Structure 1
Amino acid sequence: MSEAGEVTEAGTEPPPPKRPSSLQVDAKGVHEDPVGWQGWLKGIIYVFLWYGSILMGFFSLYCPILPILFISRPLYRRATEVIFTMWECYAVALMEVLYGVKFFLSGDVIRPKERSVIVLNHRNRLDWNYFWGALAHASCPPTHNCKIVLKSGIRKFPGLGWIMQMCCFLYIHRRWEEDQRLMNNVLGYFRDINHTFQVLLFPEGTNLTPHTQKKSEEFACKMGLRPLTHLLQPRTTGFTFLVDKLRNSQLLDAVYDVTVAYPKTLPLTELDLIKGRMPEEVHFHIKRHPASSLPATNEGLKEWLHDVWVEKDQLLKTTFQQGHFPGPAASFPDLPVNASYIAIFFWTPLTLGVFYLLCTWWPVQWWCLAHTIIFTVVSFATDGLQHLEVWLYRREGSRSKRE
């Protein structure tokens, strides 16, 4: 584990900021430079390749392994997660190679062989996509198995939501009794199969906007909490449940507090990507808290999370003043030299090739239509394919006990 340090680009010293940077470039923190046709063109290409790789990868890589779910769940679990990790590398490569996005990291290395909870501030609707860059460069070795806690409606999103079901992401409805049941179901399954994983949680519950910040300030005033400038007040129920559940199941080694900052261009929504507004730099500061250092009670965990958010708010204030996270330099592992280009040369032809076959060959059209119908029905009629996986596992276990 390295010491907390100055922001580094995958282990190198960052250049000095060109100007004092702040997310508050304007009232919304959005980069307001006019978008030319080159920006639109690059943005459309990026979104086509990014979402196209998800959708075409789903039909060509994920759908063929679906029958394995009914034959060998350990093999199915491994296959889905390997494919997803391969795609994450492509998502990072598109940002770094096509756009020249630089990821600057400081603090601690994420240990992928640990079972951990990762808490991240939610600056925009796309934080989870940029977080793949942090995982790619800050996990050693880069073989993490990160599950995101997501709003339940995302599971219905074609391609992306379906893949996340197959990878056992944690979908929630924001109805606590139901969410507790669903998370218990998946986390209990991970415990039973002795699975190594990380859970990414956004404790703020939503991204920072003028509207959500106003509501956060009202809540802080009502509850007597310290107001935050660059963050929303964290919601503690989900965090305390996750930590308590994993700790009691012997599935928690650490909690990683990750802070993300966008000192220059700040995209807020998916439309900004289509316009070609991509951040030149994304900065992450990572702080590891061993499970043994966490408070033993739920009330203690709530206070601990609030204290972490107050510290994070102060850290962001300093960061926006000087353009990067403070502290001495830290060392991070790089991706393999040609990993980005290998990902591009694999996923781009796959995406274009499957798309061409989808447009020209009727067997592929019927294949895609059939799986679209299957996953649409599963997504709307159930809580997701991941719960079918859990049910099959437990059914098999009950049958073995009877025999």
Structure 2
Amino acid sequence: MMGFYSLYCPILPLLLINRKVYRRATEVIFTMWESFAVALMEVLYGVRFFMSGDVIRPGERSLLLLNHRNRLDWNFFWGALAHASSPPAHNCKIVLKSGIRKFPGLGWIMQMSCYLYIHRRWEEDQRLMSNILDYYRDINHTFQILLFPEGTNLTKETKKKSDEFAVKAGLPFLTNVLHPRTTGFTYLVNKMRNGNQLDAVYDITVAYPHTLPLTELDVLRGKMPEEVHFHIKRHPVSSLPATDEGLKTWLAGVWSEKDELLQTTLSQGHFPESSTNLSHPPVNASYLSVLFWLPLTFGMAYLLCTWWVVQLWCLVFTVFFMVISFGTNGLQHFEVWLYRRQTRYKKISEKTSSPLEQEREN
């Protein structure tokens, strides 16, 4: 919240002045904040991240597939991005449930960072995702999209529903993952591939060999994993099937392999290609993040409690984002609307000015 009020709110006017700078600034600040989340886990809680398999290439436009073991996987995934990206940079967007955009602070920040929110109503979700992806294509944006094909995290209740689906569809039971939903996956692959926005698909498997927090409440109680293991497998876009049915079969096969891999990993404590000696210690950026974010957080909180100007500042932006979050599909779609409007105006201006320019030349 303090980072939102002190860093994000001041750059909001850039959305109207210079969207290119605005887009860059929001993504740089968000990456800085991700490093703070990783720093809290590594430096303060002693969480260790273990990597095996391929590296993530941030220069690619890619789709990242991750199994959903708990509600916090996407937070721990920032640790994987910090250690598995080569070079150590990324621009990862997450496909999230629409309600998260309403969360004070983080949800508002993700709107400004142009994330993809879905409502679980396919026609509307398809339209909203297409709106963002077309915008990325038009501005020649390099990005990665993180998708949870299972749609929800693994619990006893969701496992039961997954098994019931397997019986109806004639599929084998899975032990450590849920059967993936294929509609969103096939749509994203086709949409990104047709727009020349897909270089590779990364199959990423996360495992928690020891302590496993399931909810945000577990973290508040201090229940943090000692180790988080990631295995990454890169699939070039040329290796993917060309048809929807082929993509569905491919994804089912990937998830079946993931289930077997997790079974081995949980029994031996690490992925087959990894070793307990390959723990990733905190990167230097983690210590720098602590030195930057902690003074900023407490300093902004102090000003919020003591200075009416800051109180008014925070109130104005809180009301603004509450209205945007509950009254629209998010600030990210207003950004796209502004871009479309400017593009149409520019085309009209060019058509109007071209006869005049020809007359001047004559």
TM-score class, shorter-chain normalisation, is over 0.9
The CA distance in 1 between the partners of 2:276 and 2:129, in whole Å, is 35
After superposition, the Cα gap between the structure-2 partners of 1:298 and 1:212, relative to the gap in structure 1 and judged at 3 Å, is: same
In the other structure, the counterpart of 2:67 is: 121
**Alignment match of 1:367 (pick from 288, 295, 313):** 313
Shift in Å, 1:249: 0.2
Contact 2:39 / 2:282 at 8 angstroms: preserved in 1?
no
The CA distance in 1 between the partners of 2:322 and 2:238, in whole Å, is 43
In the other structure, the counterpart of 1:3 is: none
1:306-329, Cα deviation, whole Å (9 max, x unpaired): 000000000000001100000366
In the other structure, the counterpart of 1:212 is: 158
After superposition, the Cα gap between the structure-2 partners of 1:198 and 1:122, relative to the gap in structure 1 and judged at 3 Å, is: same
The CA distance in 1 between the partners of 2:277 and 2:270, in whole Å, is 16
Aligned-pair identity (%): 73
In the other structure, the counterpart of 2:114 is: 168
Contact 1:101 / 1:282 at 8 angstroms: preserved in 2?
yes
Q: Secondary structure at the match of 2:14?
A: helix
The CA distance in 1 between the partners of 2:277 and 2:135, in whole Å, is 36
The CA distance in 2 between the partners of 1:121 and 1:337, in whole Å, is 25
After superposition, the Cα gap between the structure-2 partners of 1:60 and 1:305, relative to the gap in structure 1 and judged at 3 Å, is: same
The CA distance in 1 between the partners of 2:67 and 2:128, in whole Å, is 24
The CA distance in 2 between the partners of 1:334 and 1:273, in whole Å, is 21
After superposition, the Cα gap between the structure-2 partners of 1:319 and 1:331, relative to the gap in structure 1 and judged at 3 Å, is: closer
How do 1:48-127 residues align onto structure 2 when only pairs under 5 Å count?
Answer: 55-127=1-73
**Alignment match of 1:144 (pick from 83, 90, 107):** 90
The CA distance in 1 between the partners of 2:275 and 2:20, in whole Å, is 41
In the other structure, the counterpart of 2:246 is: 300
Q: Secondary structure at the match of 1:346?
A: helix
The CA distance in 2 between the partners of 1:240 and 1:151, in whole Å, is 18
The CA distance in 2 between the partners of 1:196 and 1:332, in whole Å, is 30
Q: Secondary structure at the match of 2:3?
A: helix
Contact 1:240 / 1:301 at 8 angstroms: preserved in 2?
yes
How do 1:216-235 residues align onto structure 2 when only pairs under 5 Å count?
Answer: 216-235=162-181
In the other structure, the counterpart of 1:388 is: 334
In the other structure, the counterpart of 2:205 is: 259
Contact 2:42 / 2:281 at 8 angstroms: preserved in 1?
no
**Is 1:283 aligned with 2:229?**
yes
Shift in Å, 1:330: 12
**Alignment match of 2:262 (pick from 300, 304, 316):** 316
The CA distance in 2 between the partners of 1:281 and 1:391, in whole Å, is 43
Q: Which amino acid in the other structure matches residue 227 of structure 1?
A: F
Contact 2:48 / 2:281 at 8 angstroms: preserved in 1?
no
If asked which structure has higher relative contact order (CA below 8 Å, sep 6+), I would say 1
Contact 1:137 / 1:332 at 8 angstroms: preserved in 2?
no
Shift in Å, 1:92: 0.3
Q: Which has the higher helix share?
A: 2
1:346-370, Cα deviation, whole Å (9 max, x unpaired): 0000000000000010000000000
Shift in Å, 1:151: 0.3
In the other structure, the counterpart of 1:185 is: 131
Query: In terms of Rg, which structure is larger?
Result: 2
The CA distance in 2 between the partners of 1:127 and 1:392, in whole Å, is 33
- Runs of 4+, deviation exceeding 3 Å: 328-337
**Alignment match of 2:273 (pick from 321, 324, 327):** 327
Shift in Å, 1:226: 1.6
Q: Secondary structure at the match of 1:243?
A: helix
Bigger CA drift: 319-328 or 330-339? 330-339
The CA distance in 1 between the partners of 2:245 and 2:46, in whole Å, is 44
Q: Secondary structure at the match of 2:242?
A: coil
- TM-score (norm: length of structure 1): 0.85
1:69-107, Cα deviation, whole Å (9 max, x unpaired): 001111000000000000111100100010100000100
Contact 1:139 / 1:333 at 8 angstroms: preserved in 2?
no
The CA distance in 2 between the partners of 1:382 and 1:170, in whole Å, is 14
Q: Give unpaired runs (5+ residues) of structure 2.
A: 350-362
In the other structure, the counterpart of 1:20 is: none
Shift in Å, 1:142: 1.6
How much is the aligned-residue C-alpha RMSD, in angstroms?
1.5
Q: How many residues were matched structurally?
A: 349
